[in-house]
Amino acid sequence: MKRSERAALWFVLPSVFLVGLFSIYPILESARLSFYRMILMLPWLGDKYVGLENYRDLATDPVALDSLAVTLVFVGASAALEVLVGLGMALLLNESFRCRGLARAAVLVPWAIPTVVSSQMWRYIFNDRYGLFNFLLFGRATERYLAPLADARLAPAAIIFADVWKTSSFAALIILAGLQTIPDELYEAADVDGATAWQKFRRVTLPLVKPALLLALLFRTIDSFKVFDLVFVMTQGGPADATNVLQFYGYKKIFAEGMIGYGSAIAVGVFCFSLVLSFLYIRLIGASVLEKGAAR
């Protein structure tokens, strides 16, 4: 082993240790627990190895399947909206104007607020008696006030909205970095050719920013698959399971019902879903980056 390699090893070691302790170990432990029947409230049953029983139950549990659908709608809608809004924000922030530095910093504020805090804020905003949401819509006509978080159709939309508000700026940040790698000469050449602003966006910006868009989409998809805090604070999975996302369902199984084994199986299911998604995206992004390299 070369000296520099040995030195590198020492630098990597602390991270390997931390990732192992706080990520790998809990994942393996959840996987192990998911093969057991383990119920906190019934300690006399002991921990019984049941093989794949929890997973078989999961596949036929109508609540879990509903919950999967709720999660997929949330992931699809929020990730897509976040990348779109993020793209808009990035395009704006990429233009030069006065106080651009300030605007770039300001955009990051929602992202920097802990989710639990911003969820609490949105819970107040959507309150059916004193919420700002109702005041903006109906003013003083309090008899028309809605209770979005108590309505099975509005509650998922409210949660998606809160997520888009909070994390679009993260997507914007990645996309902005992508925009800045586009050389100015390309736009100058387009100007010489007499391209319109739309044509420049469509033919120059979009193709070149595609890897950044995909990267933003990857991060947002995986991250929104793990949604928990928003639901925990804003709706507790209600009304009538309309926002019962998988992570929250797993949490309820473990902490409210004490079903450690079954809850772990749900957690592992979410983990596998994210894993598969990541692989798909990475292949997609890898391919598009290669394409770009070949074109040069």
Binding site for other proteins (CB under 8 A): 39-45, 63, 147, 150-151, 236, 238-241, 252, 255-259
Indicate the burial class of 194 (C-beta count within 10 angstroms; 0-12, 13-18, 19 or more): exposed
Nearer to other proteins, 122 or 170 (CB): 122
Closest approach of Cβ 234 to other proteins, in Å?
Answer: 12
Closest approach of Cβ 42 to other proteins, in Å?
Answer: 6
Give the residue among 219, 276, 232, 272 at the shortest CA–CA distance from 264. 272
Identify the residue whose tokens are 């592992």. Answer: 268
Chain center to CA of 51: 31
Nearer to other proteins, 142 or 180 (CB): 142
Nearer to other proteins, 45 or 103 (CB): 45
Nearer to other proteins, 124 or 255 (CB): 255
Nearer to other proteins, 154 or 179 (CB): 154
Helix (H, G, I), strand (E, B) or coil at 48: strand
Closest approach of Cβ 36 to other proteins, in Å?
Answer: 14
DSSP H helices in 61-200: 62-94, 100-107, 109-112, 115-125, 132-138, 154-180, 184-192, 197-200
Nearer to other proteins, 60 or 196 (CB): 60
The residue type found at 291 is: E
Closest approach of Cβ 262 to other proteins, in Å?
Answer: 10
Using DSSP bridges, classify how beta strands 36-37 and 48-49 pair: parallel, antiparallel or unpaired. Answer: antiparallel
Whether the CB-CB separation of 124 and 131 falls below 8 Å is answered with: yes
Please tell me the distance from the alpha carbon of residue 71 to that of residue 77, in angstroms, as a whole number: 10
